Amino acid sequence: MRAKKKNKKRMDNMTKLLIPLAVAINMLAYTVLYSTTMLILGDSIGTILVGAICGPGPGAIVGLLSNLVNVIKNPVMIVMMPLNIGFGVVSGYLTKRKIFTSLPKTLLCTPIYGFIGGWLSGSIIFLAMGGDFWGNLASVFVGIPLYNAGVPKYFAMAIGQLLFDCIDKVVCLLLVYLIIRSLPDRFLIKLPYGKYVTRKQYSEEDIDFGEE
């Protein structure tokens, strides 16, 4: 029993170490990817990753902290906090279905993340803008043309945001999958949700916590 508690504590400590690292990944990915593509945000990579290997709770914390960092630079981003938290929570629940053990399964989840990051976030900003478009690429290339074609303004905006965010999430999910596959099983199975992302099944006896 004492060994189990010790093991659990070590797993918790590993999760605590991964949380700030994941926040840093979000910030770095956004800086590199968005500045070079003007299309891929990449700021949810760390959130999705921790949600997948550590569970919905730690994933939500990464989303929360990442949002707070963004709020320092842009206070308006506070309204996006529930969505950033949502990425981590959804990842934790999806990983239990062994989603991240297969690339096709991982990429098929793109619309789920796209709905959160595109449709829902777009709806929030749409309301904040007084029911109007704003000058991002999704509005310019999809939303406004759809509206001019007769689609109601809200749905034109939401469809544009959804499509463009799905592009971002395809890249994010691909990178998360590649990161998970690059990590050794002996490391993954020590994490709370690591057993859901390894292709081989391990028993508790297989896990070596390095006890002296």
Per-position b or e across 23-47, b if 16+ CB within 10 A of its CB = bebbbebbeebeeeeeebbbbbbbb
Q: Is 199 exposed, middle or buried (0-12, 13-18, 19+ CB in 10 A)?
A: exposed
Contact predicate 121/84, CB 8 Å: no
Cβ neighbours around 12 below 10 Å, total: 13
Q: Taking Cα atoms as reference points, which of 100, 79, 77 lies closest to residue 30?
A: 77
Axis-axis angle for helices 56-73, 2-29 (nearest 10):
30
- Distance between CA atoms of 29 and 12, rounded to whole angstroms? 25
User: Which pLDDT score, from 0 to 100, does residue 199 have?
Assistant: 81
Structural domains in the chain, CATH included, are 14-201 (1.10.1760)
User: Which pLDDT score, from 0 to 100, does residue 203 have?
Assistant: 60
Handedness of CA 101, 108, 15, 1 (dihedral sign): negative
Chain centroid offset of residue 200 CA = 24
pTM of the model: 0.90
Chain centroid offset of residue 54 CA = 13
Place of tokens 């994490």: 191
- Distance between CA atoms of 42 and 202, rounded to whole angstroms? 32
pLDDT means per 10 residues, the chain with 212 residues, are: 49 88 96 93 97 96 95 85 95 96 97 96 86 85 95 94 96 98 93 91 56 41
Axis-axis angle for helices 45-54, 153-182 (nearest 10):
60
